[in-house]
């Protein structure tokens, strides 16, 4: 393992003995981080990186925000989990309901996967129907229904789903319909032909990186209202990132349910499903009876440590200028990357919104998942590798922007990206 010291190699070897593929399943096994502060992280060898991974998004304020840390330390002396209600979880629920246009009530869970699973189950319980319509390339957690046509290795004819994992029962495919993102006409045809069997539509308002086309989300809203379907916005990523009111506020379209995660736990495991009270009533046996009751229990749901971290995070996000700073950083980096790839003469375009984007190496528009398959993935992998060597840490296909990122982080990233462009083989240019 070239470039790794003895201590790192020993840790990597230990991981391989006890972890499948030597990792937690999230990120390359050779990256072992020890510390984060602000918009930067350090690995076990002391290498410093500008961090655009941000724990896969939760650390929107940056690592070790002093006010969040102080709130967490105070709660640790009072208890770490109770299973019963706690005042901080109640206060956080109040703050989220006040912030999001769709939220009248919410139920806490432990992960985004759980939130999406329960949102789809709520739609089925509310409508008394089995089918869920989702979009090819959309990520809705690790449940059987969520892992249909996220990143299909072979492309099926719509609306047939393709399982993304071994171990998913074949019967699941019968209850999932798949449409191309940003194609309102295709969705309309599906709903008009099979609407009596469809409980709801689940969609990421920004699908991975791809923004909604003008009128697309509005069209989904109108279609769901007209046909009595439950519209679910998966805001695990976009919630409180695009605006304090989430992507539903940013894009101006209100769903019936939304799912939340990442930011609302302030770096601790916490997620939620929120929405209309008449749909959320299925969590209350006294209101809907045994036949309509949706059972949900989670040992750490509403955990007080996560709740105080989330409460403090939301308090900080409400302060004037917070979102403006993150958006300014994102725009500066987006513009810089666009200029560098243009000067290098390589097909590429920045796709996304200022808090969340990446540079996709393709010369055509990217309106949906299939368009991303035209991108030069080998070039993307090369650039990501070179960025890491230049002290820039990012996921395979995302720059997550933090409030803590500063102009020097943008400058270092653009310098590393320029070096990556200069390192390309002659054929790539």
Reported as a pLDDT band with limits 50, 70 and 90, residue 424 is: confident
Yes or no: say if 132 and 202 are a contact pair by the CB < 8 Å rule.
yes
Q: Are residues 310 and 346 in the same domain?
A: no
Yes or no: say if 95 and 311 are a contact pair by the CB < 8 Å rule.
yes
For the cut 90, the answer to whether the pLDDT of residue 2 exceeds it is no
* Average pLDDT score over residue span 291-306: 96
Which pLDDT score is estimated for 18? 96
Q: What percent of the chain has pLDDT over 90?
A: 93
d(CA 43, CA 36): 9
Q: Are residues 390 and 243 in the same domain?
A: no
Reported as a pLDDT band with limits 50, 70 and 90, residue 3 is: low
CATH of the domain at 123: 3.40.640.10
Q: Are residues 188 and 83 in the same domain?
A: yes
- Residue 29's Cβ-count burial label (10 Å; 0-12, 13-18, 19+) is middle
CATH of the domain at 353: 3.90.1150.10
Q: Are residues 120 and 41 in the same domain?
A: no
Q: Are residues 52 and 87 in the same domain?
A: no
Among 252, 283, 317, the domain boundary falls at 317
CA distances from 113 to 140, 148, 175, 318, 357 (A): 7, 13, 18, 27, 22
Q: Are residues 399 and 261 in the same domain?
A: no
Q: Are residues 237 and 329 in the same domain?
A: no
CA distances from 160 to 10, 45, 262 (A): 46, 47, 30
| Residues of the domain holding 227 | 66-317
Determine, yes or no, domain membership for 72.
yes
Reported as a pLDDT band with limits 50, 70 and 90, residue 427 is: very low
Q: Are residues 283 and 171 in the same domain?
A: yes
Q: Are residues 282 and 384 in the same domain?
A: no
Q: Are residues 356 and 262 in the same domain?
A: no
- Whether omega for the bond prior to residue 159 falls within 30 degrees of 0, making it cis, is yes
Nearest to 123 by CA among 285, 235, 296, 280: 280
d(CA 337, CA 348): 9
For the cut 80, the answer to whether the pLDDT of residue 425 exceeds it is no
* Average pLDDT score over residue span 144-158: 93
Reported as a pLDDT band with limits 50, 70 and 90, residue 28 is: confident
Q: Are residues 131 and 215 in the same domain?
A: yes
Enter the tokens of residue 241: 């990132």
d(CA 168, CA 172): 7
Q: Residue 393 forms beta bridges with which residues?
A: 51
d(CA 375, CA 105): 41
Q: Are residues 360 and 298 in the same domain?
A: no
| Lowest mean per-residue pLDDT among 7-11, 46-50, 128-132 | 7-11
Per DSSP bridges, beta strands 257-260 and 230-235 are parallel
Determine, yes or no, domain membership for 416.
yes
For the cut 60, the answer to whether the pLDDT of residue 289 exceeds it is yes
Determine, yes or no, domain membership for 22.
no
For the cut 60, the answer to whether the pLDDT of residue 405 exceeds it is yes
Among 278, 299, 317, the domain boundary falls at 317
Determine, yes or no, domain membership for 24.
no
* Average pLDDT score over residue span 103-131: 98
Reported as a pLDDT band with limits 50, 70 and 90, residue 429 is: very low
Catalytic residues: 139, 234, 262
d(CA 58, CA 36): 13
Which pLDDT score is estimated for 426? 52
| Lowest mean per-residue pLDDT among 97-111, 127-141, 324-338, 415-429 | 415-429
The overall average pLDDT reported for the chain is: 95
Reported as a pLDDT band with limits 50, 70 and 90, residue 298 is: very high
Give the full edge-to-edge strand order of the sheet including 131-135.
105-109, 271-275, 257-260, 230-235, 198-203, 131-135, 176-179
């Amino acid at each position: 393992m070239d470039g790794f010291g003895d201590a790192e190699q020993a840790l990597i070897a230990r991981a391989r003995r006890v972890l499948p593929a030597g990792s937690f399943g999230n990120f390359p096994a050779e990256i072992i981080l020890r510390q984060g502060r602000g918009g930067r992280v350090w690995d076990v060898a002391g290498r410093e990186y500008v961090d655009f991974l941000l724990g896969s998004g939760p650390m929107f304020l940056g690592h070790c925000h002093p006010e969040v840390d102080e709130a967490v330390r105070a709660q640790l002396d009072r208890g770490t989990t109770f299973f019963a209600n706690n005042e901080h979880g109640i206060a956080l629920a109040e703050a989220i309901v006040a912030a999001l246009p769709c939220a009248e009530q919410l139920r806490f869970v432990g992960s985004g996967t759980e939130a999406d699973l329960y949102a789809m189950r709520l739609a089925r319980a509310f409508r008394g129907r089995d089918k869920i319509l989702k979009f090819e390339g959309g990520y809705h957690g690790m449940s059987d229904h969520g892992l249909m046509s996220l990143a299909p290795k072979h492309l099926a004819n719509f609306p047939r789903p393709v399982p993304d994992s071994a171990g998913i029962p074949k019967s699941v495919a019968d209850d999932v319909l798949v449409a191309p993102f940003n194609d309102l006409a295709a969705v309309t045809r599906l709903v008009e032909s099979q609407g009596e069997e469809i409980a709801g539509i689940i969609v990421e308002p920004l699908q991975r990186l791809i923004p909604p086309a003008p009128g697309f989300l509005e069209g989904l809203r109108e279609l769901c209202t007209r046909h009595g379907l439950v519209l679910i916005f998966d805001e695990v990523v976009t919630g409180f990132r695009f605006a304090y009111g989430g992507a539903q506020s940013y894009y101006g379209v209100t769903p019936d349910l939304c799912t939340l995660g990442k930011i609302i736990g302030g770096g601790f495991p916490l997620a939620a499903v929120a929405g209309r009270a008449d749909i959320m009533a299925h969590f209350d046996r006294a209101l809907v009876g045994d036949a309509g009751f949706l059972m949900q229990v989670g040992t750490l749901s509403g955990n007080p440590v996560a709740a105080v971290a989330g409460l403090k995070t939301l308090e900080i996000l409400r302060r004037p200028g917070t979102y403006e700073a993150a958006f300014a950083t994102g725009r500066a980096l987006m513009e810089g990357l666009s200029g560098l790839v243009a000067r290098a003469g390589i097909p590429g375009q920045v796709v996304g919104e200022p808090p969340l984007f990446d540079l996709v190496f393709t010369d055509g528009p990217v309106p949906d998942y299939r368009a991303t398959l035209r991108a030069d993935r080998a070039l993307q992998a090369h650039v990501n590798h070179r960025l890491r060597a230049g002290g820039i840490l990012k996921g395979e296909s995302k720059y997550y922007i933090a409030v803590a990122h500063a102009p020097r982080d943008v400058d270092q990233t653009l310098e590393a990206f320029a070096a990556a462009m200069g390192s390309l083989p002659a054929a790539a240019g």
